[in-house]
Structures are given as structure tokens and as C-alpha cells.
Amino acid sequence: MASYAIIGGTGLTELPGLSIREAINLETPYGMPSADIIKGEFAGSEVLFLARHGHPHRIAPHQVNYRANLWALKQLGAEAVLAVNAVGGIHRDMRTGQLVVPDQIIDYTWGREHTFFAGDMEHVTHVDFTHPYDEALRLRLIAALRECGCSHSEHGVYGCTQGPRLESVAEIARMERDGCDVVGMTGMPETVLAREIGLPYAALALVVNAAAGKAPGPITMAMIEQALQQGMGDVRAVLAEFLAD
């Protein structure tokens, strides 16, 4: 059985039901991860859990040390990664509360440390990123969603923006023209870094608001927090079903 790592996003700085055996503070060649990595048991499986934004939630999306996070999980024995993301809905089918298993991603970020292959290298290294997410993991997540009966989408293009601000109406219109279905701030470079170090990676995204211009009125943090509280129970149920399989 693979050793799974779960990267929790906004709304999942803790994993209720996780039996903690050890909290590991691990320095990497790229600095410190966002938080101690929790080693324990969840749904009958050994897992590693890392809060992407720290615990408590304190690290903005553009300041997450994605390289340290992925490197540390790999060093501690992770063989695959399940990432949880909070996103905004762009496509009309991506309603608040919907769970999405993305199959493609577009990167709109800038200035982030986005690769392990940098600096004084002996040769240039390229990785294939045609299909950003591991298909076997995606299919298992989809099976878990079906088993749990959660409202979900089995495909989606994740557009990753810089943050920490939300997007303008014009920016969301541009992203929609580009083919994006949901918008978030943490999908990149996390997804490609996992690919670079050979970690199969898939994401489970929770839609917590309609993106700018897709609903009347402004987007408030109160709306997002309410959606997170309502939706994270489904996220935990899907993760438990996935791991129990």
C-alpha cells in the first residue's frame, strides 16, 4: 500500500480523525516546511499530513514554501500526495459546495520558486507536464466521491492566480476565455514540483464561492468561511473513503 501524504489547504489546517503518532520538524535544503508534518493514522491508513498555510493559518499563498513542503514529504516516505484546495467557481456548473477533481491546470502566478531544477545545474532538466495530475489517483478520488454521494465534477481546469487578493471581473472573464473552470491560488507550483520529484499527485478542490462577476454583489470572507465549514466535512469523508479502499 502506498504511503499517502495529505496537504491541507484553507479550512483544513487540522484533520479531525487523525490519530497523531509524531509531529516532525524537518529542515530541508530549501528551508522549513509550512508546519510540522504530522505522522499518524487516518481511516485505517498510515498518512503524513501537512497544513499548507501553517497551523494556525498564517502563510499567504504566494509565500508558501512549496519546495520545502514537497521535499520534506518525499524525505519522510510519501509515495503519493493528495492535495486539498479551496477554489472559486468560474464555470456555471462549479457551484458553491461542489467538489472538483481537476485534470488540467493553467499557471498565472509569478515570482514563486517554481522548480527544483535551478541554480548551478550540470544540465537542463525538463519534465513532461502534459497531464499534470496522476490519473490513477484521480480515478480513485472520483470513485470515493461517487461512493460518498457528494456533488462533484470529475474534470476541471484549475486556474492558479498569484493572490493574496481575489480576482477582478475582467480577470475572471479572461480566465473563462482561457478555459478555466475554477480559480485558486495554491495549485502551482505545488503540482509541478510533485512531478519533478516523482510524487504522484492529485487534487480535491472545494468550491467556496462564485468567482468575481459570477454572482451578484461582492465576495466576502464570511461567505467563504461558511462554505468551508459546510464543505470540509465532505472533504474529510472523501479522503477517508479513498484511504479505506
Helix (H, G, I), strand (E, B) or coil at 75: helix
Annotated binding site for substrate: 185, 209-211
8-state DSSP, 61? G
Give the whole-number percent of the chain exceeding pLDDT 70. 97
Q: Which three cell numbers stand for residue 117?
A: 531544477
Structural domain includes residue 58: yes
User: Region 142-165: what's the mean pLDDT?
Assistant: 96
CB atoms closer than 10 angstroms to residue 209: 22
Tally of structural domains, the chain? 1
Structural domain includes residue 119: no
8-state DSSP, 24? E
Taking the C-alpha atoms of residue 13 and residue 53, their distance in angstroms, rounded to an integer, is 7
Structural domain includes residue 86: yes
As beta bridge partners, residue 4 has 47, 80
Taking the C-alpha atoms of residue 176 and residue 87, their distance in angstroms, rounded to an integer, is 14
Structural domain includes residue 219: yes
By the 8 A CB rule, do 154 and 139 touch?
no
pLDDT at residue 11, rounded to an integer? 66
| Confidence label for 179 from pLDDT (cuts 50, 70 and 90) | very high
Pick from 123, 95, 85: nearest CA to 181: 95
Annotated binding site: 10, 52-53, 185-186, 209-211
State the distance between the two ends of the chain, measured CA to CA, in whole angstroms.
10
CB atoms closer than 10 angstroms to residue 18: 18
Taking the C-alpha atoms of residue 41 and residue 27, their distance in angstroms, rounded to an integer, is 23
CATH number of the domain encompassing residue 105: 3.40.50.1580
pLDDT at residue 18, rounded to an integer? 77
Give residue-wise pLDDT tens across range 108-128.
999 999 999 887 767 778 899
pLDDT at residue 154, rounded to an integer? 97
Structural domain includes residue 234: yes
Give residue-wise pLDDT tens across range 194-224.
999 999 999 999 999 999 999 888 899 999 9
For the ranges 42-46, 87-91, 97-101, which has the lowest average pLDDT? 42-46
What is the residue range of 53's domain? 4-114+130-244
User: Region 134-155: what's the mean pLDDT?
Assistant: 96
Give residue-wise pLDDT tens across range 18-34.
788 899 999 999 999 99
CA 127 to chain centre: 20
Question: pLDDT at residue 14 above 70?
Answer: no
Helix (H, G, I), strand (E, B) or coil at 154: coil
By the 8 A CB rule, do 175 and 160 touch?
no
Taking the C-alpha atoms of residue 163 and residue 55, their distance in angstroms, rounded to an integer, is 19
Structural domain includes residue 122: no
Amino acid letter, 80: A
Structural domain includes residue 144: yes
Amino acid letter, 124: V
Q: Strands 104-107 and 99-100, how do they pair?
A: unpaired
Give residue-wise pLDDT tens across range 68-85.
999 999 999 999 999 999
Give residue-wise pLDDT tens across range 31-58.
999 999 999 888 888 899 999 999 888 9
CA angle 82, 229, 25 (to 5 degrees): 45
pLDDT at residue 240, rounded to an integer? 92
The 3-state secondary structure of 81-130, one letter per residue: EEEEEEEEECCCCCCCCCEECCCEEEECCCCCCCCCCCCCCCCCCCCCCC
Structural domain includes residue 125: no
Annotated binding site for phosphate: 10, 52-53, 186
